[in-house]
Amino acid sequence: MNTARRKVNTSGGNPRGSRLRTAAASAAAVALAATGLAALPSSASAAADGIVVQYRTSASGASADQSEPWLKVRNTGSASVPLSSVKVRYYFKADAPSAAYRFACSWAVKGCANITGTFGTPANPTGTADRYLEIGFTAGAGSLAPGADTGDMQLRFHQSSWAPLVQSDDYSFGADRAAYGDWSKVTAHVSGATVWGEAPGGDGPTDPPDPTDPPRDAPTLFDDFDYSSHTDPAINANGWSVRSNSGGPGVPGATWAAENVTFADQGGNSVMNLETSTAGTGASTKHTEILTKSMKFKNGTYASRVKFSDAPRSGPDGDRIVQTFFTINDLKAPMADDYAEYDFEYLPNGGWGEPANILYTTSWETYRPDPWEAVNAHSEVRQSYAGWHDLVVTIDDDEITYYVDGQHFGTHGAAYLPERPMSINFNQWLIDLQGQPSTTPRAYDQQVDYVLHVKDQVLTPAQVNAMVGAYRGAGTSFEDTVPAG
């Protein structure tokens, strides 16, 4: 195992069984269709224009064991700004080309659990800045009202080796900054647009990409799910398998009902529906799943528009149901290091110890089924997500980042990156039958509008919307140029 990817058992908030599956390889290759990509305008809101960053340091020496940039973000605008849309960059010069760094939050008014820190490289490095520390916020950090600030964020970073680092040549460092004050050498970005500060050399941010500059010639899977039924030959030809084999996850004795995966026109757009039903027994329970036959998807961007539901279409409510969009490969052995899985999982009625609706995003390193042990990281929000939602997860060489409706939802670190390609899956299933003991039949629906994967490219949610709009504008309902294997 790569020792840089230390296993951390963080599964306590999401103690469910993993979805081990067997996915047959598919050799189908589809010709690339030339499709123009529509550009979306990029602009910050009036409120975003009022974002200001204040800085001080509690480690003022020319060199130190660790750098301590303490920050506040203020909103001097006229409207509230969700902190999940805000990124702040502190620029510095690496102590050696191969130097690696670690981020930590000592204390924060917003809570350290709601603050993320990742490292990157400017597009045009300078003599005082060839790295940056990017600070982000989870949805749990909330929003900044006009006139409000985040309060103290007592942040720090150090070399992984704990060797001393030199600060005096760092672009954003201010040795005399013993008290908070506006600091233009730290930049702020809202939804990808620079709204405060001056980057070294005048360089603007390159990550996330500009929504007006979609990727070119990147291998892509796009499916608008324009099929007639689960038996439509195009489903198989396009590389999908509608599950009908037995097994987990979910209620023992349940079946996976291929016939309950259906397609219908909604306002001129084809939508896939996954129906899961039960009458309170294992034998009466029918789960649904559709997945790619090929495990050929790894780094890049995954996106889908999914409609979650809080209540059954018919019958009594209360079942502990799971509605999903995820990627996965097979577990070759208990605690195998090359396992990978990245999930959006919505539980409208709770489950796994949760009493009510909750949305999880979970990144898996590995697990052991018996006795159960899981190594994963997860983010969650406890609220209703009934209705349509845009789901995006990006995977690069450093981290996994999740977005819901264009807003940052969670970021998980390098320890959970995939080693092998995966399949793309949607399913809906019942954890157990304890949430609703009635034997009255009931049925739940999860709907899917489209799926998109762009290989080895990290897209913003705005870029995803541009690409999907371009495919639909060109009348393209399916394309797969992602190479097999």
44 or 464, greater pLDDT: 464
**pLDDT of 4 above 70:** no
Question: What's at 361, amino acid-wise?
Answer: T
Model confidence at 100: pLDDT above 70? yes
Q: What is the pLDDT of residue 49?
A: 61
Instruction: Name the phi and psi angles at 469, rounded to 5.
Output: -60, -35
CB-based contact 392:36 (threshold 8 Å): no
Q: Count Cβ atoms below 10 Å from residue 279 Cβ, excluding itself.
A: 15
| Confidence check: pLDDT of 17 > 80 | no
Average pLDDT over residues 228-255: 96
How many Cβ atoms are within 10 Å of 405's Cβ, its own excluded?
13
CB 389, CB 448: distance < 8 Å: no
Tokens 């050399």 belong to 201
Selected residue with higher pLDDT from 47 and 245:
245
* 414 phi, psi to nearest 5 deg: -60, -20
Beta-ladder partners of 402: 393, 410
Q: Which amino acid, residue 477?
A: S
Integer Cα distance of 29 and 483 in angstroms: 7
For the sheet containing 86-92, what is the strand order?
Answer: 115-120, 131-137, 86-92, 186-190, 193-196
Number of other residues whose CB lies within 10 A of the CB of residue 407:
16
Closest CA to 224 of 461, 457, 473: 473
Rg of the Cα trace of the chain?
A: 23
Angstrom distance (rounded) from CA 143 to CA 83: 5
| pLDDT tens per residue across span 290-342 | 999 999 999 999 999 999 999 999 999 999 999 999 999 999 999 999 999 99
Distance, CA of 191 to CA of 211 (rounded, Å): 9
Indicate the pLDDT class of residue 478, thresholds 50, 70 and 90.
Answer: very high
Using the structure block, give the residue that is written with the tokens 């969700």: 82
pLDDT at 215: 62
Higher-pLDDT residue of 207, 407: 407
When pLDDT is cut at 50, 70 and 90, the band that residue 57 belongs to is very high
Amino acid 50: pLDDT: 84
Residues 150 and 51: beta-carbon distance below 8 Å = no
Q: What is the pLDDT of residue 315?
A: 96
- Pairing relation of β-strands 255-256 and 286-292? parallel
Cβ neighbors of 24 (< 8 A, separation 6 or more) are 241, 293
**How high does pLDDT run on average in the chain?**
86
Q: Which residues contact 136 (CB under 8 A, 6 or more apart)?
A: 84, 86, 87, 88, 115, 116, 117, 118, 408, 411
User: Can you tell me whether residue 182 is helix, strand or coil?
Assistant: strand
Local confidence band at 152 (pLDDT 50, 70, 90 cut-offs) = very high
Would the pTM count as exceeding 0.85?
no
What tokens were used for 169? 């040549």
User: 321-328 and 261-266: which strand pairing?
Assistant: unpaired
Read off the pLDDT of each residue in 439-462 and give the average, rounded to a whole number: 95
In this predicted structure, what is the pLDDT of residue 192?
Answer: 79
Structure tokens belonging to residue 283: 């034998």
Which of 31-40, 118-127, 164-173, 213-222 is the least confident region? 31-40
- For residues 418 and 399, what is the distance between their CA atoms, to the nearest angstrom? 10
DSSP H/E element including 358: strand 358-369
The number of residues making up the chain comes to: 485
- Report whether pLDDT(250) > 70: yes
At 87, list the tokens. 């990124």
The span from the CA of 346 to the CA of 378, in Å, is 13
Q: Per-residue pLDDT tens for 65-86?
A: 999 999 999 999 888 899 998 9
CA 275/CA 287 separation, integer angstroms: 7
Residue pair 245/258 in contact (Cβ under 8 Å)? The answer is no
Name every residue whose Cβ is closer than 8 Å to that of residue 153 and which is 6 or more positions away in sequence: 70, 71, 72, 73, 105, 108, 109, 110, 115, 135
210 pLDDT higher than 50 = no
> What is the reported pLDDT for 44?
32
pLDDT at 407: 84
pLDDT the model gives residue 194: 87
pLDDT-above-70 percentage for the chain: 87
- First-last CA distance in the chain: 22
Q: Is the pLDDT of residue 208 over 60?
A: no
- Give me the pLDDT at residue 214, please: 55
Q: Is the pLDDT of residue 45 over 60?
A: no
Side-chain half-sphere exposure of 107, counting CA atoms within 13 A? 2
| Phi, psi (degrees; rounded to nearest 5) at 369 | -75, -30
Per-residue pLDDT of 379-437, as tens digits, reads: 999 999 999 999 999 999 999 999 998 888 999 999 999 999 999 999 999 999 999 99
